[in-house]
Amino acid sequence: MLHPIPIPGLFITATDTDVGKTVIAGAIANYFLRQGGGSARIAVSKPVATGCVHRREGLVSEDAEFLASCADAHFPLDLICPQRYREPLAPAVAADRAAQPLDWNAIDRSLQLMSRDSDVIIVEGVGGILVPIDKEHTTLDLAKWLNLPTIIVARPNLGTLNHTLLTIETLRRAGVPIAGVVINRYPTDTPGTAEETNPRYIEKYGKVPILAIVPNEPTLKRPPLPESITSPIDMVDWSRFAAPTRNPT
């Protein structure tokens, strides 16, 4: 359904919805922008979004706005997020209720157009890896088609071992390259035993690296990103994972 991405890039998924993958995707895009001295051409993509808001110009994805701002992207929002739905539901459900089938050609066209004029691309999925996008496909299919190294954004608390290991296993069985895991919204002031031990055991049982542990920033709505987020993100050489010849796992 989609052509592979011809430039370096990363695919950002999560163990569930509302884990903060948009913040992590935006922070990684901003990392590439700053590493390039502001001159790097960074593309960001949210191929499909739900829970969009009505503006004068129509439905707008606030996640796409956030990503575009982090990357200083010069592409229009309609290209960054070509498929938008109003209700905050799984895309397949939102599309059915809106009587507006997903247009895969529009997604493919947007990704290819942005890739032609960019040095690197950060693509953010929707929900978890098995969220249905249409009647036949899930976010996993999106990851397989694009074949970009995948970053899994995970929660820090109790229950994340199961969610994260299931996501790792699903991606691995599908042959999707996994760069590693970012633990987001970590409670640095009051971590419990689960929060303190989960990173080590995700690495042990999932056999993937924990790339970064990002503190909780619940009020973050738009850039600039605080140092509490940029500091752990900047400790990772993301370009090493985004290289198109790399197959992390």
Any domain includes 28: yes
Q: Which helix (H) or strand (E) holds 84?
A: strand 83-84
Q: Encode pLDDT of 156-192 as tens digits.
A: 999 999 999 999 999 999 999 999 999 999 999 999 9
Q: What's the whole-model pTM score?
A: 0.95
Any domain includes 247: no
Domain that holds residue 36: 9-242
Helices (H), the chain: 21-35, 62-71, 77-80, 91-98, 104-116, 139-146, 160-173, 193-206, 227-234, 238-242
Q: Are 49 and 125 in contact (CB under 8 A)?
A: no
Q: Are 150 and 10 in contact (CB under 8 A)?
A: yes
CA dist 113 and 23 (Å) reads 24
Any domain includes 196: yes
Structure-model confidence comparison of residues 249 and 14, the more confident one:
14
Angle, CA of 64, 76 and 61, to the nearest 5°: 25
- Domain with 27 in it: what CATH number? 3.40.50.300
Q: How many helical (H) and strand (E) elements, i.e. helices and strands, does the chain have?
A: 10, 10
Mean pLDDT over all residues of the chain?
94
Any domain includes 2: no
Q: What percent of the chain has pLDDT over 90?
A: 90
* Catalytic annotation, residues: 46
Any domain includes 187: yes
Domain count, the chain: 1
Any domain includes 174: yes
Torsion over CA: 178, 182, 184, 186 (sign): positive
Any domain includes 192: yes
Give me the pLDDT at residue 245, please: 44
Q: Encode pLDDT of 33-89 as tens digits.
A: 999 887 889 999 999 999 999 998 899 999 999 999 999 999 999 999 999 999 999
Q: Encode pLDDT of 209-221 as tens digits.
A: 999 999 998 767 7
Any domain includes 142: yes
